[in-house]
Amino acid sequence: MITVASLDRPLTWEFRHHIVATAFAADNTLAFALGNGSLELVSGLPNRPSLSVPVHAGAILCLAAAPADSFFCTGGDDAGVRRIGVDGSLADCTAERGGWVGSLLLARSGLAFANGREVHWRPFGSGNSLRLSHPSTAAGLAIDPKGKRLAVAHYNGVSLWWTASSQGTAKLLPWRGSHTAVTWSPDGTYVISATQENELHGWRLADGYDFRMAGYPRKVRSFAWAQRGHWLATSGADTIVLWPFRGRNGPMDQEPNEIAVDGGIVTAVAAHPAGDLIAAGMEDGAVWLAHIANNARLLLRPGKGAAVTALAWSRDGTLLAAGTDQGEALRWQQN
């Protein structure tokens, strides 16, 4: 079990710009995406400065790390998508014009990114590139565990596409209102979206049954699957909200587990890749660890006024990174 005593004091950096997202590459190189368009790469070694890579003419809007390789991809408000190696090497992934890239994902099978109403799929290896059109702006992307179906959140629902089909049509999972983000359960059973109405909406794919997960005072902007998909942790409340997904009915007719934390509203969550540990960032800058099994809470960082906007674990679960809206960056390591 990871405890505060098992974590080193964090390494810290001051980037002086809003941190949009953070992610670890497969070799544990850490990236912070900034609102000024640069990507900061840090090895985490003492006394080694970060490598600043100018990536976009404008803000970086999204960041993803390759699942099994040592590179990152970013999308920006200049409509570009870039591939950045851990050595700082830079390459264009698209020549789109106009709009912005507000969401992207990297899967083992390919790259997907959203530009306005269109989502572009670029397979790695064999397969066709796809341009998938939607009735409104594509606001969130997720891929199923097998890497074969793409979920796209937009107004009035979520569209599901087969990535191997060049002429297929989408299956619509309908629900009124604006859907701003989407996630696919690790077992492929459920698709869950966040909405503008301060709630989540879910669909059980086997029979299309849909359900609401409500009661949030703020919009849910961050969610993470924990314990191999048994729990869905979310932001948006003054507690860490964990919805149960055991059994055929998932969270239907069940109350969530809520872990009390101080610091106002939870703004970011990240699930440990192997254990039952949840990291939570707060609107006052505090960072907490919580154990799902017993709701034990551990304060890693007290609130300092700048909201936590980014949170991520390394693939092996030994490193935790956080970033704030004022450019403060931190990285803890298990000793």
Per the DSSP assignment, residues forming a β-bridge with 289 are 279, 298
Distance CA 177, CA 197 (A): 8
Do the beta carbons of residue 190 and residue 208 sit within 8 Å? no
Q: Is residue 72 part of a domain?
A: no
Place of tokens 């490598």: 51
Mean local confidence (pLDDT), 282-300: 95
pTM for the structure as a whole: 0.94
Asked whether residue 179 carries a pLDDT value surpassing 80, the answer given is yes
**What is the per-residue pLDDT for 3?**
54
Do the beta carbons of residue 105 and residue 115 sit within 8 Å? no
pLDDT in tens, 40-61: 999 755 556 689 999 999 999 9
Number of domains in the chain: 1
Mean local confidence (pLDDT), 204-229: 95
CATH for 322: 2.130.10.10
Q: Measured at the alpha carbon of residue 182, what is the angle toward residues 181 and 187, in degrees to the nearest 5?
A: 160
Closest to 129 (Cα-Cα) out of 142, 118, 120: 120
Q: Is residue 263 part of a domain?
A: yes
Closest to 240 (Cα-Cα) out of 291, 202, 284, 199: 291
Mean local confidence (pLDDT), 244-250: 88
Asked whether residue 4 carries a pLDDT value surpassing 70, the answer given is no
Strand order in the sheet with 223-226: 223-226, 231-234, 239-244, 257-260
Per the DSSP assignment, residues forming a β-bridge with 181 are 194
Distance CA 221, CA 36 (A): 21
Q: Is residue 249 part of a domain?
A: yes
Distance CA 134, CA 119 (A): 8
Can you give the residue range of the structural domain that contains 321?
218-330
pLDDT in tens, 293-320: 999 999 999 998 899 999 999 999 999 9
Q: Is residue 325 part of a domain?
A: yes
pLDDT in tens, 94-142: 766 778 999 999 999 999 999 999 999 999 987 788 999 999 999 999 9
Do the beta carbons of residue 25 and residue 71 sit within 8 Å? yes
Cα separations in angstroms, 105 against 22, 64, 88, 110: 14, 6, 20, 8
pLDDT in tens, 196-207: 999 999 999 999
